[in-house]
Amino acid sequence: MINEKNSQTGEDMDNLLIFFLGKWALIKGSCIYEQGLPPVDGQYQITYKTKGLLFEMVWLDNAGERHEFIFKIRPDGLAIPFMGGDLADSLSTVIVSERELNTIAYKNEIKVMEVRRNLSNSLNQMTISQTVFVSEKDNPTNWSSYSKVIVH
């Protein structure tokens, strides 16, 4: 896999990532949104691809329209260019611990959004919070929870 040490903790990145990898299904009714409407269904997949992580998100909105968002990044905390239009021009992802994996979006080197992925004690549930930094006083956060899809 990555075969590198986490620059913050010194731990082997492969050991820190192992519990995040796989397919996750949205737990319906788990969403609490301060901005926009929550999805009615969704999946989240994190896979290892050539020294990086591939994030694939697919969801259905309230109108039944399908959306998807995909990006690949190394979890080393370094910002890389990102084609986010008016919203973001770079992203960074960092492994905080074996139970927390975060991504930050920047626009002109200013943090505009942070996504925190936290695993439960059982490692079978992932709660994701997405905070948008609109202004000093307005930072809406959306929360959703996913359960790990076990493939036999």
Report the DSSP pairing between strands 66-73 and 80-84: unpaired
Segment 131-141 shows an average pLDDT of: 91
Model confidence band, residue 51 (pLDDT cutoffs 50, 70, 90): confident
Model confidence band, residue 9 (pLDDT cutoffs 50, 70, 90): very low
Q: What is the residue-averaged pLDDT of the chain?
A: 90
| C-alpha span between 20 and 99 (Å, rounded) | 8
Q: What is the pTM of this model?
A: 0.88
By CB atoms closer than 10 A (0-12, 13-18, 19+), residue 47 is middle
Segment 26-45 shows an average pLDDT of: 96
C-alpha separations of 123 from 13, 35, 98, 100 in Å: 17, 28, 10, 11
Report percent pLDDT > 70 for the chain: 90
Q: For residue 24, is pLDDT > 70?
A: yes
Q: Give me the torsion for CA of 131, 134, 135, 139, rounded to 10°.
A: -30
Q: For residue 10, is pLDDT > 60?
A: no
